[in-house]
Chain A
Amino acid sequence: MKNKKHLSRLFVALALSGATSFSLAADTIKIAFAGPATGPLTQYGDMQFNGSKMAVEQINKAGGVDGKQLEGIVYDDACDPKQAVAVANKVVNNEIKFVIGHFCSSATQPAADVYNDEGILMITPSSTNPAITERGYKLVFRTIGLDSDQGPTAANFIADHVKPKNVAIIHDKQQYGEGLATAVKQTLEKRGVKVGMFTAINPGDKDFSSLIAQLKKENPDIVYFGGYHPELGLLLRQSRERGLNVQFMGPEGTGNTALSAIAGAASEGLYVTLPPPYDQDPRNKTLADAFKAANRDPSGPFVFTAYAAVQALAQAIGKVGEDPEEVAEYLHQNSFDTPIGKLAFDAKGDPKDFKFVVYTWHQDGSKTEIK
């Protein structure tokens, strides 16, 4: 009996989705948007989808590419490597030549193997693991900075500004978090800073009271957290409630207003390494407003990187046509004006000069840059 109303909702949705896919003209350039639309990481996938959908809409409104309209098709991989391979093969079947995605590095990696085999061009706006571009694939690009850039930025900041006697590093045992935490640890140790505690939590955990008791015992000057905002938010909140007053620092995966929603006053004064906040850049004001007008959230670290990926791709296609090899060649050789600044790719397909900046976070979700 409960199922009935879901079904009716579902039918409406199905009818709508059917309608949209039929109304498309045959002469379009198809782009696959691959990322998690279901599963625990959906919220990050949504950031990426929002950015790329917005870019496609705006490019189409401005006349498309070479008179052709772009068509974005969402493929859900749920951040599961197994499904990512299935998605990649599906993209091959549907004869799509360009992919924006995937999201999780562990999904991007096996999918990239398939794309490379089949001559499909892939730009990931969100996978930060260095290994992805280290396999000599010509058709793999990304528009986001690497863990190996961000970690040292954070570590150097800690060594230069905080000058701690003892540092604690915590990560969430996921590819992103552990990669960052390890990079921070290595750089700190190279600079002669003592890392007294290096430990991990389980992703999705709620209770950190035991960890906080250990932190009190260790009594570090600063705690670096490699991971995403839900866990750091809880950690900050519980630290405050349990009287642990220590400086925290986190990566771009935590720099999200949702952090303050969780941690409240405890998020005041946190250090965060972030790419420049594109949605608050005055140059991007009209774009950010357009996002809001379309009822899409422009904040979050992967919205504008996805937007920029589509934009660069569209420009390249406009110049050299739809052959992925030539598009890749063009992407490698030129630079693009995008909302994330001047975008150019190095030989591996990574963005050149992707800068991270250290901010002080405030409890209302705003932040100020530390010069």
Chain B
Amino acid sequence: MSARLRLAFFSALLVPLVAFPILGLKLVTVGINLEIQGAAPLTWWIIAACTLGMFVWQLLRRRLAAGWASSPNLPRIPAGTGNFLTRPKTQRWGILALALVALVWPFFASRGAVDLATLIMIYVMLGLGLNIVVGLAGLLDLGYVGFYAVGAYTYAMLGEYYGLGFWTCLPIAGAMAALFGFLLGFPVLRLRGDYLAIVTLGFGEIIRILLRNLTEFTGGPNGISGIEKPTLFGLTFDRRAPEGMQTFHEFFGLAYNASNKVIFLYLIALGLVLLTLFTINRLLRMPIGRAWEALREDEIACRALGLNPTLIKLSAFTLGATFAGFAGCLFAARQGLVSPNSFEFIESAIILAIVVLGGMGSQLGVILAAIVMILLPELTREFSEYRMLIFGSLMVLMMIWRPQGLLPMQRPHLELKR
């Protein structure tokens, strides 16, 4: 009993220690000097109540937990469901169904929703790309946003300086990002685990700082604006067509609708996502895909079997970067402006969170997680300044609640009946 009492006292002591200085004493600048203002009495009462609550809870935790266990449970999800949902076959059908819905849906939705969906598609692509590197090959990459930036700036700069259009730039953006992935990957891939993480983080930051500092080429902090939207076989979606071009609505004799532009971009994004999914699915069945996963599981065994770890890692790294390049190109088109601010470390963190939350290696999981991670800040937009607070705590809670991810990956397998 005394041990539990001590624990309860200790825990109760922690609450005011943590809460009191930051919440209870507010630093206020008066004129040019700092002063301290006490918080409203309500805050004090809440802190006191939490302290007391913590004390009681720690004291009675065992008993409460026992009471909880004996109470009738909520109807539990049958054990088979989770297994069913994560089976590769189910996932394949799930993705197909999602794709169908995604194809029809935008024609009935509002502009804001379609635009948001485009953003989600961009993150799905980023997630799928990083999934190759982190989820399949097991390389922790914290600088993924760098390749995304390369893709976005490739389109922006080629458009700005050479007047190239979206469709020409899309493959170039992918290729440029792949080139960067290859060049950066080559020296660092022999590093292990967390050393690789910090080095890739460093690369991501270096790319961003260079973009910010090479003002003559990249526009510096202003970035590059006025990036053109994609066209449909030379038809633009603008209200009025520039010299020598025709607009979509004139060609088909429709009334001008600004949403068409957004829907078209969305459909391109959807198409690219489907292409990405298809490519990765094929690759996974090829020797190279098997080799990635083998490498993740046991590098030494791989080498013993005569696989070249550097080559395998490099292929994963490069391929991941390529998809980031495509996503970047799309992002530049959606945004109309690229600036270094869009490529900060937090983006890498969010993409990584999408992969981990989805369940590493799982593609349907990545799609779901991208939807969750991008919708969450938008849905909590009503809470204004509490928005990121909620986002941060939900990130922690989701990890605690489901550390294996929303829909973890399963290999196709057969079980023998006993």
Q: Report which A residues bind B (CB closer than 8 A).
A: 1-6, 8-10, 12-14, 17, 37-39, 42, 74-76, 78-83, 85-87, 89-90, 92-93, 105-106, 109-110, 113, 117-118, 129, 131, 135, 173-175, 177-179, 200, 202, 257-258, 260-261, 264, 363-365
Q: Known: A89-B116, A175-B221. Contact between A364 and B15, CB under 8 A?
A: no
A50 to chain B, nearest CB (A): 14
The distance in angstroms between the C-alpha atoms of A38 and B385, with both chains bound, is: 6
Contact B29 A1 (CB under 8 A): no
The distance in angstroms between the C-alpha atoms of A258 and B339, with both chains bound, is: 29
Known A-B contacts: A2-B18, A79-B341. Give 9 more (CB < 8 A): A8-B46, A9-B43, A75-B381, A76-B381, A78-B388, A90-B112, A110-B225, A175-B222, A364-B32
Q: List 16 A-B contacts (CB under 8 A).
A: A9-B46, A17-B384, A76-B387, A86-B119, A93-B113, A106-B222, A106-B341, A110-B225, A113-B336, A131-B222, A175-B339, A178-B220, A258-B29, A264-B32, A364-B31, A364-B32
Q: B377 to chain A: which residues have CB within 8 Å?
A: 83
Q: Does B33 contact A (CB under 8 A)?
A: yes
Q: A179 to chain B: which residues have CB within 8 Å?
A: 222
A329 to chain B, nearest CB (A): 19
Q: Known: A17-B383, A178-B221. Contact between A365 and B336, CB under 8 A?
A: no
Q: A202 to chain B: which residues have CB within 8 Å?
A: 209
List B residues 53-86 near A (Cβ within 8 Å).
53-54
Q: Does B14 contact A (CB under 8 A)?
A: yes
The distance in angstroms between the C-alpha atoms of A14 and B31, with both chains bound, is: 32
List B residues 176-221 near A (Cβ within 8 Å).
209, 212-213, 215, 220-221
The distance in angstroms between the C-alpha atoms of A154 and B339, with both chains bound, is: 27
The distance in angstroms between the C-alpha atoms of A5 and B377, with both chains bound, is: 22
Q: Known: A17-B383, A106-B222, A110-B336. Contact between A93 and B47, CB under 8 A?
A: no
Closest chain B residue to A261, Cβ basis = B32
The distance in angstroms between the C-alpha atoms of A264 and B32, with both chains bound, is: 8
Closest chain B residue to A76, Cβ basis = B384
CB contacts between A and B, total, < 8 Å:
142
Q: B209 to chain A: which residues have CB within 8 Å?
A: 202
Q: Chain B: how many interface residues by the 8 Å CB criterion?
A: 59
Q: Does B415 contact A (CB under 8 A)?
A: no
Contact A261 B33 (CB under 8 A): yes
Q: Does B258 contact A (CB under 8 A)?
A: yes
B161 to chain A, nearest CB (A): 17
| Closest CB pairs A-B (n = 7) | A89-B112, A93-B112, A117-B258, A261-B32, A5-B50, A260-B32, A89-B115
Contact A10 B335 (CB under 8 A): no
The distance in angstroms between the C-alpha atoms of A46 and B239, with both chains bound, is: 36
The distance in angstroms between the C-alpha atoms of A102 and B410, with both chains bound, is: 46
Contact A17 B212 (CB under 8 A): no
Among A10, A39, A82, A117, the one with the most B-chain Cβ atoms within 10 Å of its Cβ is A82
Contact A5 B225 (CB under 8 A): no
Q: B239 to chain A: which residues have CB within 8 Å?
A: 117
Contact B258 A74 (CB under 8 A): no
Q: Does B334 contact A (CB under 8 A)?
A: yes
Contact B386 A10 (CB under 8 A): yes
Closest chain A residue to B344, Cβ basis = A80
Closest chain A residue to B338, Cβ basis = A81
Q: B393 to chain A: which residues have CB within 8 Å?
A: 3, 6
Contact B50 A173 (CB under 8 A): no
B257 to chain A, nearest CB (A): 10
List B residues 29-45 near A (Cβ within 8 Å).
29, 31-34, 42-43
The distance in angstroms between the C-alpha atoms of A202 and B239, with both chains bound, is: 41
B256 to chain A, nearest CB (A): 10
Contact B222 A129 (CB under 8 A): yes
B199 to chain A, nearest CB (A): 20
Q: A3 to chain B: which residues have CB within 8 Å?
A: 393
Closest chain B residue to A179, Cβ basis = B222
Contact A2 B19 (CB under 8 A): yes
Q: B212 to chain A: which residues have CB within 8 Å?
A: 173
Q: Does B378 contact A (CB under 8 A)?
A: yes
Contact A200 B213 (CB under 8 A): yes
Contact A82 B342 (CB under 8 A): yes
The answer, among A4, A5, A178, A261, for a CB contact under 8 Å with B29, is: A261
Contact A37 B32 (CB under 8 A): no
Contact A80 B341 (CB under 8 A): yes
The answer, among B47, B339, B383, for a CB contact under 8 Å with A106, is: B339
The answer, among A10, A74, A86, for a CB contact under 8 Å with B384, is: A74
A14 to chain B, nearest CB (A): 7
Q: Does B337 contact A (CB under 8 A)?
A: yes
The distance in angstroms between the C-alpha atoms of A233 and B389, with both chains bound, is: 29
Contact B110 A110 (CB under 8 A): no
Q: B231 to chain A: which residues have CB within 8 Å?
A: none
The distance in angstroms between the C-alpha atoms of A106 and B387, with both chains bound, is: 22
Q: B29 to chain A: which residues have CB within 8 Å?
A: 257-258, 261
Q: Known: A86-B115, A179-B222, A200-B213. Contact between A1 and B15, CB under 8 A?
A: yes
Closest chain A residue to B47, Cβ basis = A5
Among B42, B111, B116, the one with the most A-chain Cβ atoms within 10 Å of its Cβ is B111
